[in-house]
Amino acid sequence: MPPRRAGTRPPLARRRHGRSGTFLRGDACRLETVKGPRAAHADAVVFLLSLQDMDPLEAALDSAAWALKPEGRIVRLMTHPCFRVARQSGWAWDANRELQFRRVDRYLTPLAVPVRPLPGGKPGAIHSFHRPLQAYCNELARLGFLIDRLIEMPTTRQALGRRRGHDSATGGNPEFVTREGHVHAWEWHRLRYRLRQRRSEHP
């Protein structure tokens, strides 16, 4: 399934949670073209380990803002862009200090990283899109959101060896980050709704 597709595969989602909601499949960057979602109708939009696989970022967040009520919120959970850069970061061991540390080779430059081939032997690859933290904050600010809360979560995986150095490193290097944008309280909270006006000016 291409990275820009919204939702999980309908048969699996409906089998597990069919009575809990409605499941749709469509382009998350163009929700207005998907049958079902309506403008300014949703209370919240949640990106669960997905926003880093969507490109362009501006279109994905524009689409989310289109679906939200004027005081709706965006909640996002993703791998931490500061420390988890696909193929450009990893763990290393300092033998002199007996300490495991996180190595980041590249951070500020946006990067499209092929992570796995397309299914069915098709040419091409599915990509993950690294962006610095400022890219997410600035895009949400552009849409009039205010960050209410930001939570950084370390890994809970157990060390296989070098426990002292590993535990010190994993406890100090978050693996996931969650943000919410919303108006009363992070939660990206939208203070003003400008998307319709911008789209009318630039159809």
Per-residue pLDDT at 173: 61
Average pLDDT, the chain: 78
Q: pLDDT digits over 32-44, tens only?
A: 999 999 999 999 9
Sorted by where each begins, the domain ranges of the chain are: 5-82+110-155+176-201
Mean per-residue pLDDT, 12-36: 84
Strands 68-79 and 42-48: parallel
- Please state the separation of Cα 183 from the chain's center in Å: 20
Q: Which amino acid is at 30?
A: R
| Annotation: CATH topology of 5-82+110-155+176-201 | Rossmann fold (3.40.50)
Q: Where are the beta strands (DSSP E) in the chain?
A: 5-6, 26-27, 42-48, 68-79, 89-94, 99-104, 111-117, 125-130, 145-154, 174-181, 188-190
Weakest-pLDDT range from 21-25, 104-108, 127-131: 21-25
Per-residue pLDDT at 183: 31
- Determine the Cα–Cα distance for residues 147 and 73; give it in Å rounded to an integer: 10
pLDDT at 78 over 50: yes
Per-residue pLDDT at 196: 45
The pLDDT confidence band at residue 193, using thresholds 50, 70 and 90, is: very low
- Determine the Cα–Cα distance for residues 134 and 74; give it in Å rounded to an integer: 16
Q: pLDDT digits over 143-156, tens only?
A: 988 888 888 887 66
Output 90 or 170, whichever has higher pLDDT. 90
* 6-11 contacts, C-beta under 8 A, 24 or more apart: 6/31, 6/34
Per-residue pLDDT at 194: 46
Per-residue pLDDT at 128: 93
Q: pLDDT digits over 102-111, tens only?
A: 899 999 999 9
Pick from 54, 107, 58, 101: which is nearest to 80 by CA? Answer: 107
